[in-house]
């Protein structure tokens, strides 16, 4: 309960920070993207995991102003990396279902891009299957406008959302992100079969694919043998604060 009270003040008190996890092209051995993840530096409790506070932020609706702040912060930061020739990659931001209620998202995205000067294709929105499926018409309409602007869209945690595959071709998506549960259990024949088929679906629908939660060389070898080249996970890099990324890019581009 007090977390909720503190969460209401956290934006004004600048207690949020963004960390970034690399997406890695395992053939070229270069960073091809970053996922922005939120961290809350609570004045008394220290760093609080998003797993703890995102649900509260979603229930209270605070996720909307927080994500708007994040859109501006991430676009400016990415523009800075571009200008200083530190990195030239797209950064993705996770979208809660709430972001598609009320229809304000497009204008904020456009404003964040205009103010920062970042080209739209260097911003990506990560949505889950359940977001895309419930209220599909409205969500697809908003995503189509954003895509027309040039912004990229990925389907996060793919394979866990019980989406009807029959609709997948109607959602304007650039990339499927294979959920980490499949990678974690990829020694199992059945999980391997699912991964292989997700890759086939992505390929046949002209989508890119990213494997999440990659932690071991064995997983990398398997994913490569199935034709997946872009990977994200602790093996390559943990989510890092901005001050660590400068060094990281020097070593990893």
**Contact residues for ligand G (CB under 6 A)?**
21, 37-38, 49-51, 54, 67, 70, 94, 96, 156-157, 180, 212-215, 233-234, 239
- Contact code string over 147-186 relative to Mn ion, x by CB under 5 A: ---------x------------------------------
Contact 116, 79 (CB under 8 A): yes
The backbone region for 103, taken as left when phi is positive above 0, alpha when psi lies in -120 to 50, beta otherwise, is: left
Contacted by 233, from ligand G, Mn ion, Na ion, none: CB < 5 to 8 Å by type: ligand G
Between 204 and 214, name the residue whose CB sits nearer to ligand G.
214
Among positions 78-107, residues that touch Mn ion (CB under 5 A) are: 94
| Cα-to-chain-centroid distance, residue 59 | 21
Residue nearest Na ion, CB atom distance? 157
CB 156 to Mn ion: min, Å: 4
Q: Among 34, 157, 48, 134, which Cα is nearest to 93's? A: 34
Between 67 and 94, name the residue whose CB sits nearer to Mn ion.
94
Strands annotated E in 179-222: 208-211
Long-range Cβ pairs for the range 112-119 (8 Å, 24+): 112/71, 112/72, 112/74, 112/75, 113/75, 113/149, 113/151, 115/72, 115/75, 115/76, 116/72, 116/75, 116/76, 116/78, 116/79, 117/79, 118/75, 118/76, 118/78, 118/79, 118/82, 119/150
Between 21 and 142, name the residue whose CB sits nearer to Mn ion.
21
Contacted by 54, from ligand G, Na ion, Mn ion, none: CB < 5 to 8 Å by type: ligand G
CB 179 to ligand G: min, Å: 7
Contact 172, 182 (CB under 8 A): no
CB 213 to Na ion: min, Å: 8
Q: Among 127, 116, 122, which Cα is nearest to 151's? A: 122
The residues binding Na ion (CB under 5 A) are 156-157, 212
CB 68 to Mn ion: min, Å: 18
Separation CA 54–CA 97 (nearest Å): 12
Residue nearest ligand G, CB atom distance? 233
Single residue of 6, 124, 126, 179 touching Mn ion by CB under 5 A = 126
Q: Which residues bind Mn ion (CB under 5 A)?
A: 94, 126, 156
């Amino acid at each position: 309960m007090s977390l909720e009270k503190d969460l209401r003040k956290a934006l004004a008190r600048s207690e949020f920070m963004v960390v970034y996890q690399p997406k890695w092209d395992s053939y070229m051995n270069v960073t091809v993207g970053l996922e922005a993840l939120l961290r809350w530096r609570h004045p008394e409790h220290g760093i609080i995991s998003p797993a703890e506070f995102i649900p509260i932020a979603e229930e209270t609706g605070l996720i909307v102003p927080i994500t708007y702040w994040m859109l501006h912060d991430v676009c400016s930061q990415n523009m800075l990396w571009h200008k200083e020739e530190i990195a030239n990659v797209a950064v993705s931001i996770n979208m809660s279902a709430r972001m598609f209620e009320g229809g304000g998202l497009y204008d904020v995205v456009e404003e964040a891009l205009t103010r920062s000067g970042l080209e739209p294709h260097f911003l990506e929105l990560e949505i889950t299957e359940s977001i895309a499926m419930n209220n599909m018409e409205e969500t697809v309409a908003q995503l189509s406008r954003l895509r027309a602007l040039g912004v990229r869209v990925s389907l996060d945690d793919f394979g866990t959302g019980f989406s009807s595959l029959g609709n997948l071709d109607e959602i304007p998506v650039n990339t499927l992100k294979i959920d980490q549960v499949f990678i974690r259990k990829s020694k199992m024949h059945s999980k391997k079969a699912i991964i292989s088929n997700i890759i086939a679906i992505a390929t046949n629908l002209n989508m890119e694919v990213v494997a999440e939660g990659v932690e071991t060389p064995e997983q990398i070898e398997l994913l490569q043998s199935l034709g997946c080249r872009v990977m994200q996970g602790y093996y390559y890099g943990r989510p890092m604060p901005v001050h660590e990324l400068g060094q990281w890019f020097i070593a990893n581009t």
